Amino acid sequence: MTDGYTGGGAGARDDTGAGRTTTLLGGGLAVVLLAAVGATGGWLLAGEDDPPIPSDASATASPTGTRSAAHPTPGRSSMSSPARTSTPTRPAGLTVPEVVGEDFAEARDELRERRLGWRLVFLGGAGRTVERASPAVGTQVQPGRTVTLYVSGPAPAATVPDVVGDDCDEAGDDLVDEGFYPQYGSGRTGTVTRQDPPGDSTGRWNDQVSIWCGAAPAGSGSATPTP
């Protein structure tokens, strides 16, 4: 009577060893496949639509062996702060120019160039210079602001320009240039048909000169005959 093992020679032992190696390899492969199937079944049973995605390269290992995402160091920003720019200095506004001590006509022209109004007050003494201004020199003002100039002497004499026949706006500018104030009697459009006082008469600074513009006043000129 014999048992299931027949002790063969060297060849038998070699066949048996090879069989055992094959068996071990097969068993290991089966375990790996079962593990993969089990993992796949795990995320399927958990209800996930996609398989787990491995952590990116920025993840670092935690003391417990799990991987966690790296966090920036407290107090430091991952993005550079924008460069700070200084607030631009607001340019100085319009100011009353240095007119004290100047001839009043030159001071008036300087105010006019800066789009400022003017008012001349003649103090009746002697001379033509500006003693003071209101608002004072250096005061910040808006365009169109009237600046009063106080002149040391009396209002000087001036010749009234003849503006009849001129454009109404140009006539007004000519009167202002010569120191007079135009007074419009019939609007400011058209040509000047009449003025008072008349051209080439003598007046003084700050005097008003009335002008009439547009259609000729009634009664002036010859009537057109009726056909």
Chain centroid, CA 4 distance in Å: 102
The Cα 153–Cα 155 span in angstroms is: 7
pTM summary value: 0.53
Q: Report the range of poorest mean pLDDT among 61-70, 160-169, 212-221.
A: 61-70
**Angle at 163 (CA atoms; ends 159, 166), nearest 5 degrees:** 155
Per-chain mean pLDDT for the chain: 72
The Cα 122–Cα 99 span in angstroms is: 15
Q: Is residue 151 within 8 Å of residue 120, measured between CB atoms?
A: yes
User: What class, spelled out in words, does domain 104-151 have in CATH?
Assistant: alpha beta
Shared fold status for 104-151 and 157-213: yes
The Cα 164–Cα 179 span in angstroms is: 18
The CATH number of 157-213 is 3.30.10.20
Q: Provide the 10 A C-beta neighbour count for residue 183.
A: 14
Enter the DSSP assignment of 140: B
Work out the pLDDT band at 93, boundaries 50, 70, 90. confident
Higher pLDDT, 43 or 208: 208
pLDDT for the residue 101: 97
Domain ranges across the chain: 104-151, 157-213
